[in-house]
Amino acid sequence: MPAANDSTTEALWFDVLTPRNFTDLERLLGPDGGDRGCWCRWWRHEPDEYDALTPQQRQRASAQSAGSTMSGVLAYDAADPVGWCAIGPGSESLPRRGGSRAWAPIDDRDVWSITCFFVSQGERGHGVARFLLRSAIDTAVRAGAQVIEAYPRDTRGDVLPDRSMYFGSLGMFLDAGFTEVARKMDAFPVVRLQVAARP
């Protein structure tokens, strides 16, 4: 599925995660499942439940829910998966939000949440995360989303380790038109984008 490109990502294309292409997400995340065996499950479980799962159990859970509660987009360079962005209806797929001091819902609006980015090491710093963000927005809009919410990291100009930036950077979201709507923890604002669903 093509997406709008810029000069740094003109060769990239994206596809929505389904059971059919889940093996591409496995290839991208590698044997470690991204970061410390997460397999993009951290948001999708209460903290105690997440900690009780082995990396292999998290991998199986993601495979079983690919395309449903495990939603997102994969970026490709030719046939190679080079990036992942998790996005989906927040109230349905992100139990961790409910009890979180930083990310608990701020109102009763039905939001889609962008929660995670992962870019292959050799592709970092080349615009892949921004391409994924545009692709995720496009996917959510086509699915009927009206409000897209995210929980980026405010680096305040510091250079942080890659493993600290899976939220995405605040600047990247602001550049895409998001607006800060809450900040319950200093480094983690809540941002939103109001969009018009496409017919």
H/E stretch holding 14 = strand 12-16
* In the chain, % of residues over pLDDT 90: 65
Statement: residue 99 has pLDDT above 50: yes
Tell me, what's the pLDDT at 5?
Answer: 43
Vertex 12 angle, CA 66 and 75, to 5°: 20
The domain tally of the chain equals 1
1 part of a folded domain? no
pLDDT of 6 strictly over 80: no
User: Within 10 Å of residue 198's Cβ, how many Cβ atoms?
Assistant: 10
Helix (H, G, I), strand (E, B) or coil at 96: helix
Q: Is the pLDDT score of 77 beyond 90?
A: yes
pLDDT per residue as tens digits for the range 13-43: 999 999 999 999 999 999 999 988 999 999 9
Tell me what the pLDDT averaged over the chain comes to: 89
In a domain, 184, yes or no: yes
CATH number, domain of 19, equals: 3.40.630.30
- Inside any domain, residue 57: yes
Query: Mean pLDDT, to the nearest integer, of 99-103?
Result: 84
Identify which of 173, 171, 189 has the alpha carbon closest to the alpha carbon of residue 181: 189
Helix pair angle (55-65, 22-29), 10° resolution: 150
Asked whether residue 160 is assigned to any structural domain, the reply reads: yes
Residue 4 within a domain: no
Question: Each residue of 158-199: pLDDT tens digit?
Answer: 776 666 678 899 999 999 999 999 999 888 999 999 997 666
Q: Is 54 helix (H, G, I), strand (E, B) or coil?
A: coil
Establish if 178 belongs to a structural domain. yes
Is the model more confident about 161 or about 44? 44
pLDDT for residue 1: 52
Please tell me the distance from the alpha carbon of residue 115 to that of residue 43, in angstroms, as a whole number. Answer: 8
Domain range holding 120?
A: 12-194
Residue 198: predicted pLDDT:
63
